[in-house]
Amino acid sequence: MKIVFMGTPEFAVPALQQLLDHHEVVAVCTQPDRPAGRGHKLQMSPVKALALEAGVEVLQPENLKKKEIRDYLAQLDADIFVVAAYGIILPKAVLDMPPLGCINIHASLLPKYRGASPIHAAIKNGDAVTGITIMYMDVGIDTGDMIMKRELVIGPDERVQSLHDRMAVLGGECIIEALAQLGAGTAGRIPQDDTEATYAPMIQKTDGLIHWDWPAKRIINLTRAFDPWPGPYTVYSGQVLKIWQVEEAENSYIEEAAPGTVLAADPIQGLLVRTGSGIVRILELQAPGGKRMSAKDYLRGREIGVGELLR
């Protein structure tokens, strides 16, 4: 099967590798090189790196609106376009171009978590199960008919990077299975139930703010979901503290205290904070300009006052 692959980040790499191993990838579309790192040097996407290594032509348009890029895609005469976290909207003229259509590898069990951040949303909301959906693309955002879904159990303490990596591998496996069904003419076309749809929008830096009036478990899930980016954080004495890892602690404090109140802060007891329901022990944090470190190491060199508020 002749395929044009469209993808950009690490999540798309296992799928592209599977397609390179099992099909003919005639071209890869990925986002233009972007400045990255402290030096703001141009950096190619992970998908581009793999495509160049495999000797596949790479296209990097800013968008797919121009006639020139559409004409070029058409003359490639691909059977199907496969999309995985491309980050650029496909206009209807492109969606209608290949004979078998455009199909997408989406990192949730649709119609749950349509949108840009389904992996983060699943962890943030404390889900026990997520999965991959292979779907036909249409002009909506992740609204097309589904070909197949495969579930994946989320570990009780699993963090977003681990889940992301496992989801990426599963996505690569699923796309090969879906293409086999399409080639055999046995692929399903299951409409989504829009009444059950939820949305996972693009993540903003401010999404990492910890709300101490939340229950302890919800705060724990937020730290799992937003490590490494945008980073879960709080404010203490006017400075931003990254709170990388927390756990539930035994609630042995009888006195009432407002959510965010520091209940203990020493290398022996650790750093205990009241939440809207329960107490959490901060295990790992980071001061502005500093390194990630255990709370006990942090407290050996810095002071956080008992009774003070994290906001």
Please report how many Cα atoms fall inside a 13 Å half-sphere around the Cα of residue 235, on the Cβ side. Answer: 7
Burial class (CB in 10 A: 0-12, 13-18, 19+), 46: middle
* Rounded average pLDDT over 251-265: 87
Determine the 3-state secondary structure of 296 from DSSP. Answer: helix
Quickly state the pLDDT bin for 254 (edges 50, 70, 90).
low
Report the distance separating Cα 229 and Cα 227, nearest Å: 5
The per-residue pLDDT of the chain, averaged, comes to 96
Quickly state the pLDDT bin for 250 (edges 50, 70, 90).
confident
Quickly state the pLDDT bin for 130 (edges 50, 70, 90).
very high
- Note the pTM of the prediction, 2 decimals: 0.95
Pairing of strands 34-36, 2-7: unpaired
Report the distance separating Cα 307 and Cα 15, nearest Å: 51
| Residue 140, H or E segment | none
